[in-house]
Structure formats: C-alpha cells, structure tokens
Structure 1
Amino acid sequence: MYISIIEFIFLGIIVGSLTGILGSSGVVAVVPALIIINSVVPQYAIGTSLLIDVITSAIVAFIYYKNGKVDIKKGMPMIIGAIIGSQIGVRIAFSIPPDYIKYAFAVFILLTGIYSLLKKKDLQNKKAVNLNYLEIIGITIPVGLATGIVGASGGIMFLIISLIVLKLDIKTAVGTATFSMTISALSGSLGYLVFGKILLFASVIIGVVSIISGYYFAKIGNRLKPENTRKILGITFILIGAVQLIL
C-alpha cells in the first residue's frame, strides 16, 4: 500500500479548508479519502483521522487556553465521559467487520449534513439544562463511543453541552469544547495506536499541512454569513456520505 507525500499534502489542504471555513473535523475528508481512494481498511483510516484531529484541535485549544477561554474544571465531567466512551468504542470498532464501519461512518456523515441543513436556532439562545456531575459524564459517554467507533471527535456535541448544560459564554464554550474534543480524540487515537491501526507518517504530514492551510482558510470562513456556512457544511457532508455509501 503506497500513498505519496503529495496526496497527503493535498489531503491536508482539504482538511484545512474544512476546518478553517466550516469548523468541521478533518474526519469527514480523511476517512473517505483513505477508504475510497487508497483502499485503506476503515479502522486504519479512523485511527489516522483521530490523530490528525489531536494535532489540529490541540493548537486551537492551546490558543483559547492562553486567552483564558478554557474552563477545565467545568469541562472535566465531559472529558471523563469522553475518555470512558472512546475506549469502549475502540474495542467495539475492532469487533465489527470493516464494511460495517465504512457504512456506519457514511450514515453518520449523511445525518450530520441533514441536521446542519435543518438546524435553524442559535444554540446559545436555547434554555439551560441543569445536570449534575455524574449526569454530564453519562451524556458524554455516547460522544466518546462515536469517537472510538467512527472517529467523530464530538466537537458539536461538546459545544452544545458547554452552552446549554455548563452555561458557559460562547467563546469559553468553544474553547472548552475544543479542549474536550482534543482529549477525546487523543484517547481514541491511543486506543487505535495500541492495536497498531494508525498511519503515523500520514497523520503528521496531513496534520501539519492542515494547520497551515486552516489558518488561511479561516480568514475566508470569517467572511461568510453563518447561514451560508451552515448550508455549505450540510451539502458537503451529504455529498461525502452519499459517495461513500455508493462506492
């Protein structure tokens, strides 16, 4: 199985554009590209994507942390739940046939795209929900499961919990959600690494290129209206999911 550095760089640029313009995890580009174009086994593709997520999201989380916009104390139950769920999810993933993982991921991307197109309300304006420490851990375990099984780092779900349950302001919510996503992806990637299911060289090249390209694409993303960003995100996810289901 030979994949050129040029392909990794190109994929890194795509990941950077998705992250910078749409705020999306690189999983939606990395997993389908490695599976469809390069015939990589789904478990390898997901493990590699998670490590790339660690590289890219850690940089963003660090910037928010330096600016005092990460509340680790309030975010701790999310992190605990994500770690528990991701470790269980990794073990489930290795017990499922590769084709099932491939189609599960495609369906996940499709549903995410549909949700993005249908979502109308601003999350920050939703009514707050009161949950205790153990309940927050409980609702984030499924987020960790998704990380381990299909490579979804749970950024959106962490953001929803940070806003509605933890009642953080939007900037601190984004920073805390990104930090939690980093830990969730790290936990999942370590699980895949233990089983030798990560393409380390690919992860580093794609991750570094995505950080550089993401910086410039973020400038474009900041000029887009939220409504247009949401539509582009939804359509992109639906197309990627449909292509993976067909192929």
Structure 2
Amino acid sequence: MTYTTGAITGGMTSLIGASGVMIIVPILTMFFKVNVHTAIGTSLFVDVIASLTVSYSYYKNDNIDLKSGTWIALTSVIGAQLGALFANRMKEGKLSFSFGIFLVIGGLSMFYNSFKERNDLSDTARGLIHFKKEWQKISAVLITGLGIGILSGLFGAGGGVMVLIALIILMSFPLHKAIGTSTLIMSITAFSSAAGYAARDNINLKLGSFLAVGAVLSGILGSRYANKINEKTLRSVVGICFMAMGIAMTVLAIIE
C-alpha cells in the first residue's frame, strides 16, 4: 500500500502540481495507525522528494522561473515554521478534525475547478488584479507566501496549488511555467515545514522512504505524459476522493 500511495502522490504532483498530503495523511492515520502529527511530517518529507523530482522534469523543458517566484518562497519558509509550531501545540483530535475539514474544502475546490478549463482560469485570473505600483505587487506576493507557508506547516501541504494560483493571478505566469515554478517552490516550503516536524521527532523515515520510492517513479512518468491526460476528468475524480477521505477523518476525530 505504501508504494501505491507514493505512486498516487507523485502522479498528483506531476499532473496538477498538488501536494500529496491529502492522500498520505489519511492513509497513514487510518490504515497504519500513525498519529496525525507524524503523518503530516512524513507527508512533508515525501513532498520534498516528489516535488524536486517533478520540478526537475519541468526545468528540462524550460518551464521554471525561480527568480520571479523567489518572493513567495522567502516568506513561505517563515510561515512554514510558524505553522509547524502551531500544529505541535494542537491536540491530536483537534488537529485531525481540522485536517479533515481542510481536506473536504480542498476536494470541493478541486471538484469545482474541474468544470473550468485551466487555460480559461488563467486568462480570466490575469484580469482580476492590477497593481499600479511594483511595491504593491511585491507586498501581495509576500503576504501570499506567508499564508501558504503557515498552511503548509499546519496541515502538511506543500502549497503547490496555492502557489500556482498566486503565480497566475499575481504574477501573470504562463500556465506551464506556473506549474513548474510552483512545484519547485513547494519543495522549498515543504522542506522548511519538514525540518520543523523533524526537530520534534514527528517524521517516520521508514514509511516515508517507501512512499518516496513510489512518488519518484510516478512523478517521472507523470511529468512526461502530463499534457496527454484529461485534466478535467482527473481533477473531478481526485476532488471526490479528497472529500470522501476528509469526511472519514472528520467523523473518526468526532467519534474518538
């Protein structure tokens, strides 16, 4: 099951730039009986490896612009440490419940967006926000990065999808370059969060290593064929799965 879970994680990262947290955490907590803090820390560990593998594939196709995304990466690292600190102070049941709600919201978001073509989203989004001065744009990006980092540290999400949206809306990135850049930034944010969890001994390296093997293999294959898969259908299926797992985790947290 660990290899399969890792494979799904790598595939998601390569195809839609999403963190594997929504798959790994429910699997580890519900089937491997790992406490939620360790499950989140382990998911971040896998995220680092999977996103680095995927971002390298995008880099080879000249679809990464780290210079423009550096602003988000800087504050996301700080936010990730804050999030990890908050998570460590939360009780097990409360964190499980919060993560379940987060999972349901993420699934609803993905399912809703599956009805919109991504290209249409990017074209529309570029017209939503206009900055008259450069400092306004930079300030917005810095605040966005901080928020993404806090969510990453709190829930174990590397923030790939959130970074992707920020790059498209705030920085007018072309779609493929936004995916590649957001994946690389996700690896940086996830590393910062993982370090925070590791310092508190909340990473299972054995399980994480097995998961990472599957994530790397599927990440490489997924990156090669990313443009050949119907994204609309994929996002609908993944969104439904996320909502189902989120509801399951929330119910279990309430029962326990």
Instruction: Give the TM-score taking structure 1 as reference length.
Output: 0.89
Counterpart-to-counterpart distance in 1, 2:247 and 2:175:
33
Question: Which residue in the other structure is 1:102 paired with?
Answer: 96
1:83 aligns with 2:81: no
Question: Which residue in the other structure is 1:35 paired with?
Answer: 29
Gaps of 5+ in 2: none
Query: Contact conserved, 1:13 with 1:210, CA < 8 A, in 2?
Result: yes
- CA offsets per residue over residues 120-174 of structure 1, 9 Å max, x none? 4433112153343233111221111110011111111111111111111112111
- CA offsets per residue over residues 52-109 of structure 1, 9 Å max, x none? 0000000111222233322122101100121111000010001110111111111111
Counterpart-to-counterpart distance in 1, 2:171 and 2:106:
23
Change (3 A) 1:175 1:15: closer
Question: Which residue in the other structure is 1:180 paired with?
Answer: 185
Question: Which residue in the other structure is 2:161 paired with?
Answer: 156
Counterpart-to-counterpart distance in 1, 2:186 and 2:223:
19
Moved more, 124-133 or 47-56: 124-133
Question: Which residue in the other structure is 1:245 paired with?
Answer: 250
Query: Contact conserved, 1:27 with 1:50, CA < 8 A, in 2?
Result: yes
Question: Which residue in the other structure is 1:123 paired with?
Answer: 121
Query: Contact conserved, 1:128 with 1:167, CA < 8 A, in 2?
Result: no
Query: Contact conserved, 2:44 with 2:193, CA < 8 A, in 1?
Result: yes
Question: Which residue in the other structure is 1:57 paired with?
Answer: 51
SS in 1 for 2:63: coil
Question: Which residue in the other structure is 2:60 paired with?
Answer: 66
Question: Which residue in the other structure is 1:3 paired with?
Answer: none
Counterpart-to-counterpart distance in 2, 1:128 and 1:71:
22
Query: Contact conserved, 1:89 with 1:145, CA < 8 A, in 2?
Result: yes
- Match of residue 105, structure 2, among 111, 131, 134: 111
* Counterpart AA for 2:213: V
Counterpart-to-counterpart distance in 2, 1:193 and 1:77:
25
Counterpart-to-counterpart distance in 1, 2:166 and 2:8:
28
Moved more, 64-73 or 103-112: 64-73
- CA offsets per residue over residues 176-228 of structure 1, 9 Å max, x none? 11111110101100111111111112212211122213444667765443321
State how many pairs are aligned: 241
Counterpart-to-counterpart distance in 2, 1:123 and 1:134:
23
Counterpart-to-counterpart distance in 1, 2:30 and 2:94:
14
Query: Contact conserved, 2:107 with 2:242, CA < 8 A, in 1?
Result: yes
Counterpart-to-counterpart distance in 1, 2:223 and 2:67:
29
Query: Contact conserved, 2:17 with 2:182, CA < 8 A, in 1?
Result: no
Query: Contact conserved, 1:90 with 1:149, CA < 8 A, in 2?
Result: yes
**Identity fraction in percent:** 30
Question: Which residue in the other structure is 1:11 paired with?
Answer: 5
Counterpart-to-counterpart distance in 2, 1:61 and 1:214:
9
Change (3 A) 1:225 1:144: same
* Counterpart AA for 2:23: A
